[in-house]
Structure 1
Amino acid sequence: MYAARGVLSVHTERGTSIVPANRVTWIPGGFTHYHRAHGSTDMRILFLPESLARLVPGKPAVFMVSDLARDILLILTGPPDRDQAARARLRRVLVDELHEAHEPPLQLPEPRDDRLRAVAQLLYEKPGDNTSLAELGQTIGASGRTLSRLFHDELGMTFYQWRTQLRIYHALVLLADGHDTTHVAHACGWSNPSSFIAAFSNLVGTTPGRYRTARS
C-alpha cells in the first residue's frame, strides 16, 4: 500500500502506522487491517503473488521507498500498458528493493494491558497534553513506576518515546491537512518549533516544512 500523495494511517492488530509518501506499507495475507487517508491522497494498492509474498516479512511493516521502488509501484498500479512477463519482472525487482530497504521505527505498537490502553486512549484524544506519566497514572489508578515498566516490557520503548511517536503521527496528519509548522508544533505538545523540527526530522527523515512543501 503506497500513498503517491498525502498520508495514510494503517491499523493492524500489531499497532498503527502513519505512512507518508516516502514510505510503503506491507501487509501480509491473513492480517486484518483498515486504513484512512489524510489530506489530498493518491493511494496505490499492489497485490503480490504468493511466490513473492513469501520473500517479504511475515508481519506488517513500513519501509523507506527508494526512487526505483517508487517508480515500479507507480508503473504497476498505473495503466496496464506492459505485458504480464514485464510486470512479473518488475514485481521481482520491487521485492528485491524491499529486501534492501530500511525499516524505520515508525510503527506505534498497540498496548494490550488495560492500564496502558487507558493511558494511550487519553493521549490519542489529546496528543499535545504534557501531563506526566505519574499524573496520568493517578487518573487511571496505576503508579507511574508500574506504567513505566509496562511501557518497557510490553511495547519495548519508554513512555517518552511512545508519546513522541504518537505526536509525530498526529503532526503528519496535520501537515497533510495544510497546517503550518508552528501551529503543528504547539498542537502536538512542543513549546517551540525548533524542538518539534528536530524530533520530526529524526523520525521522518526530513523537516516538517520540506515535507509539507513536497506534498502541496
Structure 2
Amino acid sequence: MKSLNQLLAGAAAAALFLTAMPASAQKAPAPAGQGPDVAAQCAAMQQLAFLHGTWVGATTAFRPNGSKVTSLSKDVVTPLMDGELLAFAGSSYAPGATLADAPAMQNYGILSFDDRAGKLILTSFANGAQMRGEGRIVGPGHVEWTMPSPVGLLRFMVTAQGKDGWLEAIDVSADEGKSWRKFVEIAFRRAP
C-alpha cells in the first residue's frame, strides 16, 4: 500500500506533466468518436460568459401559502480550466441580514457541457446534499436546467438582463415535473 507521501508525489508529478504541456496539446480536439471535443465544450460554455463575475441579488422566496420572503444573495461565478467549466459559489442571507453578516446558506456548483449529449451538466453541493442536474443553452443569454433536490424537482431559468445583470427564476415541482410553482426569484446585479 502506498504511503500518503507517495500518493501526493504522484499527484504532483501528474499536475506538473499536465501544466508543462503546451495549451494546444492539452486542448487538441479528439478524432471523431474517440473522446470529448474540448473545443466544442469551451465554445458552448463561452455562451455563458454573461454570468462571469461577482453578483449581488435581491431574492424573493415564494411560500406555498402565497406569502413572500425577501433577502439578499451573492454569487461568484468563475470560469475554470480555460473555460471548460463554470464554478458557482453562492451565499444566501437571512431576511433583514446584510452581506456583512454570516450567510444562512451556502452552495457550490460546477457547470460543464457534455458535447456528446449536447447538454449542460450541473453538480451542486448545498446543505450537506450533492445534487446533479441537466440543462441546455436556450439561446444568447438564456440557460435552463432541472435538478432533483430534497424539496422536489427544481427548474432553473437564467436570463441575462443587459451586461450588468441576470435573473434567476427557480420553480419547484412536487410531482416530478407535471406541475410547477414559483419558488425563488433572484435579480442579480454586478457587484461594485
Q: TM-score, normalised by structure 1?
A: 0.20
Higher-RCO chain (CA-CA 8 Å, sequence separation at least 6): 1
Query: When you count strand as a share of all residues, which structure comes out higher?
Result: 2
Query: When you count helix as a share of all residues, which structure comes out higher?
Result: 1
Q: TM-score, normalised by structure 2?
A: 0.21
